[in-house]
Structure 1
């Protein structure tokens, strides 16, 4: 019995050595790429598995499983740099991993996330080591002038998306592209807007879209959320939306919105002031802009969070109070 166990252990050791030797051979062998130069994109959130699958799909590696196993054995998963890579010559798998680890990109990328405010955008730009952060020492007015904007405030004017840039290029170029995209999206939606909306300008629609963006938990509710605020505007009711209050508090907001905060008057406090706030409060997505300009047709004036990302909508205060009791004060 012991002899068979020893033989099995020896076989396992030999197989492991053979596998290790095979990985060493594979790691040092140039990849067979049909056409060069070859370009591929490592996206934010990529891991070894998704990277390997993408590289096989793009014709960079022949076997995603083996490439993944090599990376797993060498512990390469925590050091993948996002960006666009261009291969000018055949590389070995080890050289390819090293290239991605070093971030030797032909184009880098920065993400602006829907719902972010301008402070968060500036932080994202500052965190890009391959981007010249020329805007860091510029005031808002100078930045607006540099990107060709005619508005007085930059909040909400940038389109949330992933932006690629050449290494060591200025961040103003990224901001200019984000501004032009948001402008084009807004004007296209404005031209196709529903009739009878209480907006005087596209900018007012952008302000509303930013509120819708911050209030929406699930995407399909955006048009209905928009309808609530538009119904309130038409009736002269105050919007009474917490995200505008939080924005007005700025650095004073510590993550806990208190009753005294709702009573503290600022230009953005929609509990103390009627109408829209003076500027957007975040970057709205295209979906939020479309919702603000093509809202659902409802008579709802209130909504309350159910706790799962969705909301319960009511057309009367009495019904709203019952919903508050059901979903927030005395949830089942």
Structure 2
């Protein structure tokens, strides 16, 4: 019993010692000036980052020397979930605690807008509208009005803007971000088109952009994109309908409730790839660079079908019989 008492006292003493040392270190860390190589120092906190990710980003950008202390400081002060993504600038020496407050307040140097691959233009506009640091010149404008203001020679905006993270001066017009995203997409599309494979079933770069948007929506797995593009290219060459659900869903618009039914596949719209041959009339989403590259350099394959395996990837088949067996296995579980 005496030995147990001594052991408990020892453990308590060690715990108190560790707590005191930890508290002392965090106090020292919180109030010591950051070691910055030169000023002004610009750094970025990426959209959607967790506290651990923010701590790693600050370390990688040489704002703090190691991530653990900042992570602990933010947790203990109750600010772990309050850090705001954006572009920041340090113009003078400050402490880790002052840095934390800067991130909590969102004391930005530049406005940051992140556009996600696979978003629709509507979702892009919503993201711009939510940004408190932009001037919202597009509010109240139709999509066609926006295209006219940007001198974009298209009637439909879908797919014309490159998904990426864009920086703009505080108070900049949202039209500035849109123009930059449009120019970026045109650059990437032109480069991919100039390096395209031979014998593609597209009349021009815009049709390649449409294909890229279908590839983007069919899979999030980069390794599958060239194969999916290869299947679609093969079907177009053979005059087969693409029969891709994301295009049907896009054509349904606000009528889609999250459940694609057989009746939807039979309801004709310009985007119903079950009732109409060829490509849909416009892109159906904002494709990223990997999807653009896949559309212009699809895999050389004989596959004409694919089905989701349930693990994020797809199973590809050369014949309808093989495809039906794959559907039984991966969809129906037979």
TM, length-normalised to structure 2: 0.92
Q: Which secondary structure state, in structure 1, belongs to the residue aligned with residue 139 of structure 2?
A: helix
- 2:116 and 2:249 map into 1 onto residues whose CA distance is 18
| Superposed CA offset, 1:87-113 (max 9, x none) | 111112211111110110101211111
- 2:325 and 2:67 map into 1 onto residues whose CA distance is 56
Q: Does 1:182 align with 2:185?
A: yes
Structure 2: unaligned runs, 5 residues or longer:
none
- 2:127 and 2:330 map into 1 onto residues whose CA distance is 36
- 1:269 and 1:92 map into 2 onto residues whose CA distance is 58
Q: Which moved more, 1:139-148 or 1:5-14?
A: 5-14
1:311-330 matched pairs, under 5 angstroms: 311-330=314-333
- Find the partner of 1:43 among 42, 46, 69: 46
Residues 1:151 and 1:12: Cα distance change in structure 2 (over 3 Å): same
Structure 2 equivalent of residue 195 of structure 1: 198
- 1:252 and 1:265 map into 2 onto residues whose CA distance is 13
Q: Does 1:294 align with 2:297?
A: yes
| Superposed CA offset, 1:173-207 (max 9, x none) | 11111111111111111112112222111111111
- 2:148 and 2:6 map into 1 onto residues whose CA distance is 82
| Superposed CA offset, 1:135-156 (max 9, x none) | 1211112211222311111100
- 1:308 and 1:63 map into 2 onto residues whose CA distance is 36
Q: CA deviation at 1:323?
A: 1.9
Structure 1 equivalent of residue 128 of structure 2: 125
8 Å Cα contact 2:71-2:80 kept in structure 1: no
Residues 1:67 and 1:155: Cα distance change in structure 2 (over 3 Å): same
Q: Which moved more, 1:282-291 or 1:37-46?
A: 37-46
Structure 1: unaligned runs, 5 residues or longer:
none
Structure 1 equivalent of residue 221 of structure 2: 218
TM, length-normalised to structure 1: 0.92
Q: Which moved more, 1:135-144 or 1:29-38?
A: 29-38
Q: CA deviation at 1:14?
A: 5.7
Q: Which moved more, 1:273-282 or 1:232-241?
A: 232-241
- 1:26 and 1:313 map into 2 onto residues whose CA distance is 55
Q: CA deviation at 1:325?
A: 1.6
Structure 2 equivalent of residue 233 of structure 1: 236
Q: CA deviation at 1:22?
A: 4.3
* Cα RMSD after superposing both structures: 2.0
Q: Which moved more, 1:112-121 or 1:303-312?
A: 303-312
- 2:303 and 2:121 map into 1 onto residues whose CA distance is 31
Q: Which moved more, 1:255-264 or 1:158-167?
A: 158-167
